[in-house]
Structure 1
Amino acid sequence: MNFFICLILGFCIAALGSITPSFLNLTVVKYSLKNGKKSTFYLIAGYATVLFFQANLGAYLANILMKNSEYITLIQKIGTGILFLLSINFFRIYFAPKKEVKEKEIPKSKSYFYGILMSLLNMMAIPFYFTFISLLIGFKYFEYNMFNAFYFSIGSTIGSFTLYTIYAIVAKNIEHKLKYIATKMDFILGCLTGIVGIGNVIYLFTK
């Protein structure tokens, strides 16, 4: 597959995932306002480093699934159960009493490693890449091999780095809007995962 196609696909999918308000975006905005843009770029580099491997792993798992189609139904059932558990958890977080969290200032020298830690805590990244790459493989827009996965991961790294950098640059202008959306994010995610879970149940019973 063409190098540039894999690069663009990775860039677009990562940008789509990075543009959605999340704790990573909020951290970038807060970090930029508190420590300045230079330190924030190291934080984002930490994010991007982990996302490179997460994209690669997502592509590998998607390829395994598509090659072993007899396990798809089982995986769909397991995935549906996970979706309902995630939905319940998101609603629990949203409706639970909010505790005031004291912010800790992170030394500039540790920004990169802090970014790596924060990105590792983002448990949605691998399922996100897995889902989208499975769709690309299914529609024959992506052919998995070691090089294509590598090119895709480079594109995703550039895409996520670019989007998070934009968040850092415009932090002052979007801080309040992003915070408002973030307060509703758990409820939105609970609804979305619940709807997708119900859709999966309907699909499994009707196919």
Structure 2
Amino acid sequence: MNFLICLFSGFIIASLGSITPSFLNLTVVKFSLRNGKKPAYYLIGGYATILFFQANIGAYLASILMENSEYITLIQKIGTAILLLLSINFFRLHFSSKEQKKDVEIPKSKAYLHGITMSLLNMMAIPFYFTFISILIGMEYFEYSYINALYFSIGSTMGSFTLYAIYAIVAKRIEHKLTYIASKMDFILGCLTGVVAIGNLIHLFYK
């Protein structure tokens, strides 16, 4: 039962993280349209490979935080500062880069390696897993151990691969909508990180 809970939790959390428009799933859509679904699966495989390790790191960091509660306030302060900086950076990117960016052509033979590289550049993955696993630990739905982290990471790999594969399959139907949303992602992320940062500041001020 513990195996199923960890596997299912990883699948659901990774699916939530993969469903939102980003440069990763936008690349999957464009690559699928140009080269077909099968080559796109290699690109997705590269994503999922790195996400497996990112989920593991997120679970480990969450377990350390929950075991050392005296550091929570310090981590909250550091996290708030990082969120504010990220918010400023996202707004800067949105208002400064109005020119249409040229798409980088990805050779079929290098799709898997390109997927690994792009997933490594996704700096939000570890904080994302860290946050959700911390919530699960706090609610006593997840107890960290190497084997539980392994099950969770397997589930997250399956979840992310499944969602990105769906993007590859329905690429023709969602290309224009996804492109439009992705063009606004810097602004959306700037708003989200800004709101969370302000919420954290208020919480720390009245704590």
Matched, 1:84 2:74: no
Q: 1:104-183 residue pairs with structure 2 within 5 A? A: 104-183=104-183
The Cα of 1:9 is off from its aligned counterpart by 0.1
Structure 2: gaps (5+ residues):
none
Distance across 1 between alignment mates of 2:159 and 2:16:
9
Distance across 2 between alignment mates of 1:157 and 1:96:
35
Distance across 1 between alignment mates of 2:44 and 2:139:
32
SS in 2 for 1:61: helix
State TM-score, norm by structure 1. Answer: 0.98
What amino acid sits opposite 2:115 in the alignment?
A: G
Distance across 1 between alignment mates of 2:106 and 2:8:
34
The Cα of 1:108 is off from its aligned counterpart by 1.0
Structure 1: gaps (5+ residues):
none
What amino acid sits opposite 1:47 in the alignment?
A: Y
Q: Which moved more, 1:90-99 or 1:140-149?
A: 90-99
Q: 1:22-101 residue pairs with structure 2 within 5 A? A: 22-101=22-101
Distance across 1 between alignment mates of 2:179 and 2:158:
25
The Cα of 1:105 is off from its aligned counterpart by 2.1
State TM-score, norm by structure 2. Answer: 0.98
Percent of aligned pairs sharing the same letter: 77
The Cα of 1:87 is off from its aligned counterpart by 0.3
The Cα of 1:107 is off from its aligned counterpart by 1.6
The Cα of 1:184 is off from its aligned counterpart by 1.3
What amino acid sits opposite 1:79 in the alignment?
A: G
What amino acid sits opposite 2:17 in the alignment?
A: G
SS in 1 for 2:184: helix
When the two chains are superposed, the root-mean-square deviation of aligned CA atoms in Å is 0.9
Distance across 1 between alignment mates of 2:6 and 2:97:
44
Task: Work out the number of aligned pairs and report it.
Answer: 207
Could you say which residue in structure 2 is the equivalent of 1:205?
Answer: 205
SS in 1 for 2:115: helix
Q: Which moved more, 1:99-108 or 1:26-35?
A: 99-108
